[in-house]
Amino acid sequence: MSVFNFFRRRSVEAPTAAHMTWTSKTIGRTLTRTGGFLRRQMWVVPILAILVLAVMGFGIRVAIEQTMKSELRSQLQTLLNIETEMLQSWMRVQTSNAETQANQQQVRELVYKLLAEQDTEVPGATAVDMSLHKQLRKELAPAMASHDYVGYIVFDTSRKVISSSQSELIGKQNLPSYEVFLDRALEGEATVSPPFPSVAISEDEFGRMRTGVPTMFVCAPVRDASFQVVAALGLRMTPEREFTRILQLGQIGESGETYAFDKSGVMLSNSRFDDNLILLGLIPDQEHSRSMLSLQIRDPQGNMTTGFHPKVRRSELPLTKMAAAAMSGVSGYDVDGYRDYRGVPVVGAWVWLPKLEMGLATEIDTAEAYRPLTILRWTFFSLFALLGVASLAIFIFSIMLLRMRREAQMAELDSKKLGQYTLERKLGSGGMGVVYKGFHAILRRPTAIKTLHLDKVNEGSIERFEREVQITCKLNHPNTVAIYDFGRTEEGLFFYAMEYLDGIDLQTLVDTYGPQSESRVIHILQQVCGSLYEAHSLGLVHRDIKPANIMLNRRGGEPDVVKVLDFGLVKALDEQKQAGMTGTNSLTGTPLYMSPESIETPDGVDARSDLYAVGAVGYFLLTGRPVFDARSIVELCQAHLTQPPIPPTERMGKPVSSELETALLACLEKSRARRPQTARDLALRLARSSSASLWSIDEADGWWSRHERGVEAAAAATTADPPRMANRTTSNFERTIVSNED
């Protein structure tokens, strides 16, 4: 039994009608009495308003806070993952460079000679021939210069330095600072060390010669002919050049930073607050003082930036919550807030990298992260204060509402005039242009007019704008939108005029009226194929075929006339310059309808890529669902690349003509060679379907007669709702003309 029928029957029963009448009268009397009481006791109004605002404020604050925490957690973790991957990728490059040098024949032979000299050296014998060191330095010089290495060092298996660009290290053995990475290299694994203070006198980033300069090494094993490790080659790097710069890229807002630290809690990269840390006394007050290797990540138990001073020495303070968790091997996040090494409340995410013997953290001050909540709180406090002065507050609030309403109404009035065109109303806007409905001053013909934003006018945008007009003007097929005019106003505003379509796009068609019949789907797709065949014949690929870019209209007395729009992303296959204007190798199109090759090799798409999208559109029209359902863009693209589509028969749970299903699935083949090779081939395959001739003019006329008001209402509702236009599909003609290239 239908639920609607149940309520319909109940509504005509006499006892129920009488009961509803009594209820409505009772509610009316209650509201009248309440209104009278409030008018007599005006002081109650501000109290009620304060209570309502308090409840609303608490609820809104909790909802916003939970949303902000979720988004902040996602941002922090995403940034940390990106920084971690960038750092690990950089380290893989460094280890690859070191292995390449360690495996060079000349380098290995020189190391063998150095080892041989060490083995034959006896008390009283001469020192190792310095020419070997010079030759080794000469062999390594090109790689060191090209990869910004500032020195080298070679150890034998007893951890003795047998050669180095710093001669004072030669002969030294078991250097403590080198053990971490040296042990792994001698075990056969190339590795990158965390930053550590240099043992020998080295030049720092400011040109000073001193010990304790922040140093990093990438170390790789040197093997003999039997592939046994006989030595280790280390290439010295300065952390400031790449290591610290990579971490400094990970910043959110004005107070965010990403930094590295070792297992003792010492910072391995420079803080972005070094100047402030000098004033706080956390690093020495010396010229060129830096936090790297000199600052411990400890909790001072209070905010030092507001004047707090710890009561104990820095070494006696506990590690920050983040550092303690990371060094215990627990990666995580905290969006509720904890104190950082300055004592400033922050939120952050962290990870410990055991293989690299270091941790990474990304943090941002809580005050900045939750600034909108503070603004919201003060907003409600201000409203409470205003409501304290009851009548005055209500009066001011009423005046503000009237003013805001008046401003909103005035904003809707747009009386601009473009050349000989008078604008009626704004249909939509994008990043580059705005679309209006208007008419020619003399011809009085309804026209859609697309303009170029004044603040976006430059040589590139003008050329792109003109190219869109020129490309569309080449197309004369009746199923392609027609361009009427192109011009520029005295104020420098570029525009072009095209035919105004008051039909419905395919996205809205399915959203409003559900999946379409086989015969109508074939009728629509055949017209799309006609438009695309002309474009493909001219060497043009649309690259953004989707339901929102295909309009269904009633034109010249003919129902179900298709118009293909938005050639703004079109690619001219025979013109390399024009192809580059949309960005060489750039991902262009709508992910739900993109072919595999447009994802993998965007610069290599051709006409068959459009046919993939046509198949996806036909699938959507027939089933009411896109080809692939996915939770993210990455997952969706992966489905286009690897996942076979579910046949419409299986998706719908009812039979579909084999000719139509075969044609759609052929379009959705991963390999272009297995798809229809031209739009005309696809149209002929569709025509062979048993359902092709079932959609007649009479049926189309009947559909438009039944749904004409619904189509107009959908168009009016979407046009009057700009946020919706900027969203999923930007309905109707307005939705499609405000193209993706904007």
Q: What is the pLDDT of residues 479-504, one digit of tens each?
A: 998 888 887 766 666 778 888 888 89
Nearest 5 degrees, angle CA 585-CA 587-CA 593?
Answer: 135
Locate the DSSP E strands across 108-160: 151-156
26: how many CB neighbours lie within 10 A of its CB? Answer: 10
- Identify the pLDDT of residue 437: 86
Closest to 690 in 3D by CA, of 662, 715, 710, 670 = 662
- Identify the pLDDT of residue 403: 66
Using alpha carbons, list the distances in angstroms from residue 532 to 229, 297, 466: 64, 63, 21
Contact between 222 and 185 (Cβ < 8 Å): no
Tokens 């092709």 identify what position?
692
Closest to 139 in 3D by CA, of 103, 171, 170, 168 = 103
Residue 611 burial class via C-beta count within 10 angstroms: exposed 0-12, middle 13-18, buried 19 and up: buried
- Identify the pLDDT of residue 121: 53
pLDDT digits (tens, 9 = 90+) for 183-228: 889 999 999 999 998 888 877 777 778 788 899 999 999 999 889 9
Closest to 463 in 3D by CA, of 362, 366, 346, 582 = 582
- Identify the pLDDT of residue 582: 45
According to DSSP, the β-strands at 558-564 and 550-555 are antiparallel
- Confidence bin at 547 (pLDDT 50/70/90): very high
Spacing of C-alpha 692 from chain mean position: 42
pLDDT digits (tens, 9 = 90+) for 575-596: 444 444 444 344 445 789 999 9
* 140 DSSP 8-state letter: H
Contact between 132 and 163 (Cβ < 8 Å): yes
* Mean pLDDT to the nearest integer, 352-357: 87
- Identify the pLDDT of residue 546: 93
* Mean pLDDT to the nearest integer, 620-635: 92
Closest to 595 in 3D by CA, of 583, 574, 610 = 610
- Identify the pLDDT of residue 726: 31
Phi/psi for 719 (5° steps) reads -65, -35
> Is residue 299 annotated as a catalytic residue, yes or no?
no
pLDDT digits (tens, 9 = 90+) for 275-330: 889 888 888 888 778 888 889 999 999 999 998 999 999 889 999 999 999 988 88
Give the chain's count of helices (H) and strands (E).
Answer: 25, 23
Residue 91 burial class via C-beta count within 10 angstroms: exposed 0-12, middle 13-18, buried 19 and up: buried
Contact between 181 and 219 (Cβ < 8 Å): yes
Using alpha carbons, list the distances in angstroms from residue 646 to 202, 610, 616, 653: 65, 20, 12, 11
- Identify the pLDDT of residue 456: 62
208: how many CB neighbours lie within 10 A of its CB? Answer: 11
Contact between 185 and 234 (Cβ < 8 Å): yes
pLDDT digits (tens, 9 = 90+) for 431-474: 566 788 888 878 888 888 887 765 566 667 677 777 777 777 88
Name which of 32-46, 54-68, 142-156, 394-408 the model is least confident about.
Answer: 32-46
Closest to 230 in 3D by CA, of 187, 170, 190, 169 = 187
* Mean pLDDT to the nearest integer, 676-703: 92
Distance between CA atoms of 619 and 699, rounded to whole angstroms? 22
The stretches of 451-575 forming alpha helices (DSSP H) are 459-473, 506-513, 518-537
pLDDT at 633 over 70: yes
Q: What is the DSSP string of 306-346?
A: GT---SS-GGGSPBPHHHHHHHTT--EEEEEEEE-TTS-EE
Contact between 501 and 551 (Cβ < 8 Å): yes
Locate the DSSP E strands across 241-283: 257-261
- Identify the pLDDT of residue 304: 92
Residue 535 burial class via C-beta count within 10 angstroms: exposed 0-12, middle 13-18, buried 19 and up: buried
The pair of structure tokens assigned to 329 is 């091997």
Q: Angle at which helices 130-146 and 44-102 pack, to 10 degrees?
A: 140
* Mean pLDDT to the nearest integer, 344-360: 91
- Identify the pLDDT of residue 715: 63
pLDDT at 687 over 90: yes
- Confidence bin at 728 (pLDDT 50/70/90): very low
- Identify the pLDDT of residue 471: 77
Contact between 187 and 193 (Cβ < 8 Å): no
Distance between CA atoms of 567 and 473, rounded to whole angstroms? 10
Nearest 5 degrees, angle CA 376-CA 378-CA 384?
Answer: 105
Residues in the chain: 742
* Mean pLDDT to the nearest integer, 662-688: 95
Distance between CA atoms of 49 and 648, rounded to whole angstroms? 56
How confident is the prediction for the chain on average, in pLDDT?
A: 80
* 250 DSSP 8-state letter: -
Catalytic residue among 156, 365, 505, 544: 544
* Mean pLDDT to the nearest integer, 238-242: 88
